[in-house]
Structure formats: structure tokens, C-alpha cells
Amino acid sequence: MTSTTARPRLSVGVQSRLRLFVIHALMASLFLTLFARLWYVQVLTGDTYRAQAANQSVRDVVVQPVRGLIVDDQGRPLVANRGSWVVSIDRTLFSRLGQVQQDQVLTRLSRVTKVPIKALRARTVLCGEPNAQPKSCWNGSPFQPVPVAEDVGEKVAVAILERSETFPSVLAAPQSVRTYPQPYAVNAAHLLGYLSHVTEGELSAAKSSEDRSLNAASQVGRAGLEKEYDADLRGMPGYRRVAVDSMGRVVGNDGTTPATPGNTLVTSIDARVQGVVERELAHAIAVARRTVDPVNGGRYKADSGAAVVLDARTGRVVAMASQPTYDPQVWVGGISSAQLRHLYSAKAGTPLLSRATQGQFAPGSTWKPLMTVAALNHGYTTNSRLNCSSDLLVGNRVFKNYESRAYGPITFAQALQISCDTFFYRVGLGYWQRYGSDPADVGAKDPLVSQAKEFGFGSTTGIDVPGESSGRIADRAWKKAYYQARRDYYCGIDRHPKPSTGSFLRRFAHEFCLEGDLYRAGDAVNFSIGQGDTVVTPLQLARAYAALANGGTLFEPRVAKAVVSPQGEVVRRIAPKVAGHLKSRRSVLRYIDQALTGTAKVGTTAWKFVGFPLDKVPVRSKTGTAEVYGKQTTSWVASYTKDYVVVMMISQGGTGSGTSGDAVRHIWERLYGVRGSSVDSSKAAIPGTSAPRGLPVFAQDGSILPPKPNTRGSR
């Protein structure tokens, strides 16, 4: 038998008391830990956490600044601001609504604001969230109301405010939007530019550069002066600190940092002159469209035009007009797709394109005074005489005078006044034979080409209006580069012509493929009269004529004169900038000046200046009728005094003086106060008859007074 030793066993009561003790100990330790944590949070670090909690319950809401004015040289507002209404959705409150209620709110809102429901919903989605559309999503603060409809009518805004139960989470608030006072019925759309919403890329760039002037609701300049001087005009936003509850709802205002209005931009534009120039250009185009083209028997298309008035002494822009144009108000509150298509439509004449700075046209005979500068500085003299024959044989082609008339041997002055083509053909041909008869010599000397580049053609003028074109100098280097770029295309047509290919295109392709890189004598004679592939902008031509007027100084044209603070203090002046000086003898410029004075007396513009007091206001002028293959002729008139330059161009508009002559005369009459054959300076568009040197006076009461007029200068 085996015996077993029994272990002592605890009674049931002892076991229960032991378990209870362990539980009590655990509970006591938990409470001690909790109390210690509470003491740490509330006593030891309480101030820190209270500050963090307060900070988390306060959010910054942006207060948009009022954008600065754009005024003319007399202080007249060209671009101002007006009160409007913006409809916004509070995303936080909107997200608390059920799906059915959200759809109902958007349906009602779409009905009153005329904004599609899809667009409204897309705008309420934060950029970065799922289903966010890059061009529609909200890239601002999630605590800021999201604008979904701008520049709405007051009735719509009041209806939303009075029916808050019908439009939960929808707000309507006043805002400032652009308006165009249009003094003297001024349009100036291409000069002034327009605004649109800031892009995500622009916001990111501003954040990287610590630029606080941009926010998600900002409007940014997209063209014209609005774009060029956007940083000056936009101002600095303010901030309203709002308290929000745990649900994200705004429960109070915790202070406001006021917004700083944008600066005022003072320009050299004169509203009176601008209005006159716009009306005269539009009228000249309308008349041209009623005039029969003797070449084809139909009416002139006159599809576009431009006019420029410069201050000859400074290069400042006094007026600049382009046709067709558009109403700048179309951008306010957002532009529709149909409106945008119209602005870019070729059928509508591409109204968004400024013909003054972006349009490129053959200059025709307005080119001849510039070629005269080259000739008289490179071998010819004022006594030189060349034959103004009815035509000139160059190679195997006959080049004719525009009117096929012959005048015999004449001087440069006479050639300018009657606009003789064959005279200048001989100048161009002579230089080609002397310096560049090898058509493959790209680096051959050419005084005419060099002079054109010295006048600034072939490059932008540097005007403070973005997007200008550079024009084109069709010299040897350009022709070779163009040949290399287009050789495969034209040689393909030459080798494999399609049945639908026209005879002219076949012939051109064949000749181009054979010798399209060679600069022939025909190219040289075409260049001498502003024909061929050389194109210029009206602004470039006006700047060149300003250099003739002022003795040889080439300016970078300027529209802005100064930036002025909201308090009326000058932040900075924008001085004229000299781009260069002509390498010409002063006697040459004086000779051309005198020759062009005769154009209005006995030359091609004389029939348009009958009775005009040329002895008191000596207008120098040159006409141009540029021929373009497949189109009607381009009408040009370039003119100047010692005060101003006036250039007008009408594409497919007929002859220079015939189409533009009357309009240019009327502009001169308004500039100097001409009435019939007398001059009354008190009737001049600009007081003192010359552009003011000073700035408008910004009074303390907010009014803007005109500057003092200048004393009379020479003409």
C-alpha cells in the first residue's frame, strides 16, 4: 500500500478575500494614474493645452481687398469698382445636410442663379478630395464660404437672404467687382485687359514665395494693364478671425485685420483722344466696307484695323485702338463658353487679338522714309536723282509703280511725296548688286536691312502691355531659316501634287523647292518698298516715326506713368525708357522731315488735307497701300508733328489716303483744336495741346483732379 501526503488547501472565504484585494489594488492604481494625468493636464500643463484648444477653435476667413483704379492722364477712371453680390455655400453646414436636402438646395440655387447644378456641386468639393475637378474645386480654406455665383443681381441676393430656411448653408454677401466707366465712350479693351480666378499653380507659386496677396478667392490680371501691373493693383487681403464649435459651425467673431486696397495706376492714355481714335477707326472701317474695290469689283472687306497715337518726345501711348474689339464687361462675374468662343472666333474676326500690338502686316510705302534714312547715310545724297519709271525689269520679272505712272528722274523728297515705287526699287537693287549679288551669301551687307533693325523692326518694342508680336524682317538669314523649316512640305507638294492642288501653289512649291533659300534681286526690291515677307505691327511703325519726329531717339513705348497709393501718395513713377538712338546724321532726319511735310501739301495726302492749317500745324505724313497675295490691299497712313505720332492701318481696306486719310485728319483736328482753317488750342482734346508731364492731383476727399497743362511746345 502506498501512502500520499495531502497539501494544505485555502478555504473558499480566504480565496474570495484575496481576489477582492487584488481588484481593489488594481482599481486604486487606475484611479491614481487617472488623477495624476488629470493633475498633469489641468494643473502642470493646463495653460499650454488651453491655448492650443483656443487656437483650434478659431479660424481665419479672408477679407478680399478692393482692387486699385486705372485712370487716364487727367485722372478720369478707365477701370473702377462697383458693388455687387456673391453667393457662397458654407461647406461645413452644407455637409451636415442629408443627400436629399443637399440636392434640393442645389436645385433651388441653380434656378435662381442660372448656374448648372453640376457646376455648383463641383465648386463645393475641396481640391485634393476624391472626385475633385481641378478647374472647379475649391482650393481655399474649408472654413471659408465657397463662392459659387458672382455678380448676381440684388433681387437674387435678397431672395436668398430672406428665405434662409429654403436655402440652408447658402450665403449672399456684397463684394467689389470691376466696372468700366467709359469716359467719352472709351472702350480700350485690349489696353486695359481683364481678370479671372487665380489658378492652383499660381497659388502654389505664391505660397512658395511667401506672397500673401493671393488667396483662393483672388482675381488675377490676365491681359493688358491688369496683367502687367497686377501686383500693384491687387492690394493685400485682410482676415476675419471666427470662432467655430466642435461641429465646425461659426459661433462668433474674434477680430478683424482690415484689407489694404490696391494702388491706383495712372496712365498716359487720354480718354478724349482715345474716344476720338476709336470712333474714327470704326467709322473708316465702316466706310471702307461700303466702298467698291476697283480690282475685283466687290466691296472692301476691311476685316480689321488699328490706330496708335504716341507722344513723340517720350514714346508714351496717348491712345491705341483695335478693331474688332469687345466689351471688357463680359469677363466680370465669369465668362461663358459661348462668349469665349466668340472672342477667339476667326469668323468674328478674333476680337481678343489686338491688331495694334499683335497684328502683323506688310507696311507698304510707309516703309520708304525709313529706307531713305538708310540710303542717305550709305552713299546717296539729297541731290541724288533716280528714274521714277512706270516699271523696272528685275531678272525675268517686271516690277511696276502702284499706279504705273512715270515721273522721270526725281529726288528722294519727291519720291516720298508721290510714293514712287520704281525709285526705291533702284535703291534696293543697287545695294543688292553692290554688296550681295551672290544670292547664297547669308552674311552679305545690306544697309536697308540694317537700318530697319536699327529702327527696332523684327523685335518687340518693349511696351508695358503683354503679348505683343515681334514682326519680321525678311532678310537673307530669315529666308534660309524659313526654307529649312518648310522645305519638306513644299518639296512634297512639288514631287507628289494632288489633283486638288491649285496651279499657283504648284508653281510656288516648285520654285521654293529649287531655290527657296536664295535671296534674289526680287527680294531686295520688294524689301525696299515694304512688300514681300516683311511684316510690322502698327505700334512698331508708330515708334519708328516717333524717332523721325524727335531727332533719332527710339523709346520703349509706355502706357503707365505712375503707381499711386490709396492715400494719394506716389509709390513710384514709371519713366520713359530709351531703347536706342539712330545712327544717322541729323541733317538726314531734317531732310526727311521737310520732305514729309510736303506730302500733305502736294503729295499723296494733299487731297485729304485741303483747307487744313498746315502752316500752323505742320503735319508730316506718308501713305501706304500694301499688296498681299490672295487679299485686298492694306491701307496705311503714318503721320507726325513734333508733339505726336498718328498711325492708322486697315486690313483689306483699300488705299492709304483714300481709306484712312479722313480719319487721320480728324484725329489731328481734335489733337490741336483745329476748326476749319483756324486753330483754337482751348478746343484741343488735351489741355495745352501736348501730353501732360505731371500727374493728376489726388485730393484728401478722394477726388482726382487733372494736372496742370503744359505750356505750348514746338510742332
Residue pLDDT, tens place only, 226-271:
999 999 999 999 887 766 555 445 555 666 788 999 999 999 999 9
Number of neighbouring beta carbons within 10 Å of residue 501: 13
State residue 58's pLDDT score. Answer: 60
Instruction: Please determine, for residue 56, whether its predicted confidence score (pLDDT) is greater than 70.
Output: no
Confidence of residue 161 (pLDDT cuts 50, 70, 90): confident
- Render pLDDT for 22-36 as a digit per residue (tens, 0 to 9): 677 777 777 777 776
Cβ neighbours around 83 below 10 Å, total: 10
Q: Is 140 left (phi over 0), alpha (psi -120 to 50) or beta?
A: beta
**pLDDT over 50 at 311, yes or no:** yes
Residues 624, 276 contacting (CB under 8 angstroms): no
Predicted pLDDT of residue 201: 85
Q: What is the pLDDT of residues 462-476, one digit of tens each?
A: 999 999 999 999 999
pLDDT at 248: 47
447 touches 375 (CB < 8 A) = yes
Q: Which of 10-24, 479-493, 655-669 has the lowest mean pLDDT?
A: 10-24
Averaged pLDDT score across all residues of the chain: 90
Range name among 561-565, 653-657, 700-704 with the lowest pLDDT average: 700-704
Rounded to whole angstroms, the Cα distance separating 41 from 52 reads: 12
pLDDT band at residue 48 using 50, 70 and 90 as cut-offs: low
Nearest residue to 324 via CA among 630, 659, 662, 651:
651
Q: What span, in angstroms and rounded, lies between the C-alpha atoms of 490 and 238?
A: 60
Q: How confident is the model at residue 453 (pLDDT cuts 50, 70, 90)?
A: very high
Cell match 503744359: residue? Answer: 710
Give the DSSP letter of residue 137.
Answer: S
Of 447, 443, 446, nearest in space to 372 by CA = 447
Instruction: Classify residue 681 by its DSSP letter.
Output: G
| pLDDT surpassing 90 at residue 446 | yes
The pLDDT assigned to 49 comes to: 56
Mean pLDDT of all residues in 373-386: 97
More confident residue, 144 or 176: 176
Instruction: Please write the tens of the pLDDT for every residue from 553-608.
Output: 999 999 999 999 999 999 999 999 999 999 999 999 999 999 999 999 999 999 99
Query: What size, in residues, is the chain?
Result: 715
User: Mind giving me the DSSP string for 334-401?
Assistant: ---HHHHHHHH-TTTT-TTS-TTTT--B--GGGGHHHHHHHHHTTT--TT--EEE-SEEEETTEEEE-
SS (H, E, C) 538-586: HHHHHHHHHHHHHCCEEEECECEEEEECCCCCEEEECCCEEEEECCCCH
pLDDT band, residue 374 (cuts 50/70/90): very high
DSSP 190: H
The pLDDT tens digits of the residues spanning 507-520 come to: 999 999 999 999 99
Residue 1 is predicted with a pLDDT of 47
pLDDT of residue 39: 67
Are residues 312 and 550 in contact, defined by beta-carbon separation less than 8 angstroms? yes
Residue 10 CA to residue 521 CA, distance in Å, equals 127
Query: Do 273 and 685 meet the contact criterion of CB atoms below 8 Å apart?
Result: yes
In SS3 terms, 601-616 reads as: HHCCCHHHCCCCCCCC
Neighbours of 676 (CB within 10 A): 9
Beta bridge pairs of residue 659: none
Alpha carbon distances (Å) from 504 to 21, 402, 498:
112, 22, 13
Q: CB count, 10 Å around CB of 149? A: 26
Which residue would you say has higher pLDDT here, 615 or 63? 615
Strand partners of residue 147: 88
> Does residue 317 carry a pLDDT above 90?
yes
> At 195, which amino acid appears?
L
Q: Which of 605, 520, 568 is nearest to 701 (CA)?
A: 568
Looking at this protein, which amino acid is placed at residue 300? Y
Q: Which helix (H) or strand (E) holds 250?
A: strand 250-257
Percent of the chain with pLDDT over 70: 91
Give every CB contact of residue 323 below 8 A, 6+ residues apart in sequence.
281, 282, 285, 304, 305, 306, 349, 355
Separation of alpha carbons 651 and 635, rounded Å: 6
Cβ contact 474:527 at 8 Å:
yes
Contact 465, 221 (CB under 8 A): no
Pairing of strands 264-267, 70-71: parallel
Phi-psi map region of 655: left, alpha, beta (phi>0 left; psi -120 to 50 alpha): beta
- Using 50, 70 and 90 to split pLDDT, how confident is the model at 93? confident
- Residue 216: its pLDDT value, please? 80
Q: Would you state the pLDDT for residue 247?
A: 47
What pLDDT is recorded for position 643?
A: 97
What pLDDT, in 10s, does the model give residues 290-304? Answer: 999 999 999 999 999
